[in-house]
Amino acid sequence: MIRVISYNIHSGRDLFWRNRLVQMARTLLALDADIICLQEVHENSKYGYQAQYLSEQLSYALAFSPSIALAGGFYGNALLTRLPIKESGSIFLPAKREQRTLLSATLLWQEHEIRVWNTHCSLQAGSRAMQVQQLRSMAADHPETPLLLFGDFNTTNVSFAPFLLDCAREMGKEGVPTLPAFRRRLDYIFASPHWQVLRYTLSPVAWSDHLPVIVELDLRPGRPAAPAK
């Protein structure tokens, strides 16, 4: 079994803009996940080197995907993991305004290579549609390797079927909000058909405006049939 988390940390601040990075680190440490994907993360002199701090507090390896240059550093998405990182990189996604990126990494788990993607889609509907289409095309082009896609998709209606499963929907939890103040589900974890979803939960902490999404999965025996494009 592998435990994974997606968490929009809201620049390390809660709904009232109080600094909660220390509490976030304690919560993530207690949740004991193998892979943690974070959005709205700073690595700059203005807001601090948040990805580096969390990596050090958890003693996890770090990969960072810069989306925007800011204060001598960057703002973007981060991956924390206790698994070996074979490779990682950043892919620019189409955007009309604020630049968005996809953090792409290959990790090693139980002698398997698994692909991990982490992103934060645009608020603007046109840009978001282009980003989702690019991700959908990429998922269709990678049917062999087990894939997990994490992110804040800034919409309550997104699907990558039949290429990826919505882990919340698999567990009947698609109606549970991840942005509780607005009663909306914006945060998702998707999995390729290689994976069996065992458990889906949210951590009810108020350190960000979003809640951490926690999923437990295992690889299915054999090789799933590739979905039709």
Mean pLDDT for the chain overall: 95
Q: What is residue 120's predicted lDDT score, i.e. its pLDDT?
A: 98
Beta bridge partners of 43: 49, 74
Q: What is residue 143's predicted lDDT score, i.e. its pLDDT?
A: 86
How far is it, in rounded angstroms, from Cα 163 to Cα 125? 22
- Is the dihedral angle over the CA atoms 36, 39, 42, 48 positive or is it negative? negative
Q: What is residue 142's predicted lDDT score, i.e. its pLDDT?
A: 79
Say if residue 223's pLDDT is above 70.
no
Q: List pLDDT tens digits, range 72-93.
A: 999 999 999 999 999 999 999 9
Say if residue 97's pLDDT is above 90.
no
For range 166-182, the mean pLDDT: 97
- Beta strands of 25-60 (E only): which ranges? 35-44, 48-49
Q: Tokens 């109606």 correspond to what residue?
A: 175
Closest-CA residue to 24 (of 4, 3, 54, 56): 54
Q: Which two tokens mark 133?
A: 């289409």
How far is it, in rounded angstroms, from Cα 61 to Cα 77? 14
**Three-state secondary structure call for residue 111:** coil
Beta bridge partners of 90: 103
Q: Tell me the residue type at 78.
A: A
Distances (CA, A) of 201 to 62, 173, 176, 219: 24, 8, 9, 19
Say if residue 21's pLDDT is above 90.
yes
Say if residue 95's pLDDT is above 60.
yes
Q: Cα–chain-centroid distance for residue 139?
A: 15
For range 37-51, the mean pLDDT: 97
Q: List pLDDT tens digits, range 112-122.
A: 999 999 999 99
Q: Which two tokens mark 130?
A: 């282009």
- 45-79: burial string, b at 16+ Cβ within 10 Å, e else: eebbbbbebbbebbebbbbbbbbeebeebbbbbbb
Q: What is residue 225's predicted lDDT score, i.e. its pLDDT?
A: 54
Higher per-residue confidence, 224 vs 128: 128
Task: Report the percentage of the chain scoring pLDDT > 90.
Answer: 93
How far is it, in rounded angstroms, from Cα 6 to Cα 192? 16
Q: Tell me the residue type at 103.
A: L
Say if residue 228's pLDDT is above 90.
no
Q: Tokens 């807001």 correspond to what residue?
A: 47
Task: Report the percentage of the chain scoring pLDDT > 70.
Answer: 97
Q: What is residue 108's predicted lDDT score, i.e. its pLDDT?
A: 97
Q: What is residue 224's predicted lDDT score, i.e. its pLDDT?
A: 62
For range 98-113, the mean pLDDT: 95
Q: What is residue 222's predicted lDDT score, i.e. its pLDDT?
A: 73
pTM for this entry: 0.96
Say if residue 229's pLDDT is above 90.
no
Domains of the chain and any CATH numbers = 2-219 (3.60.10.10)
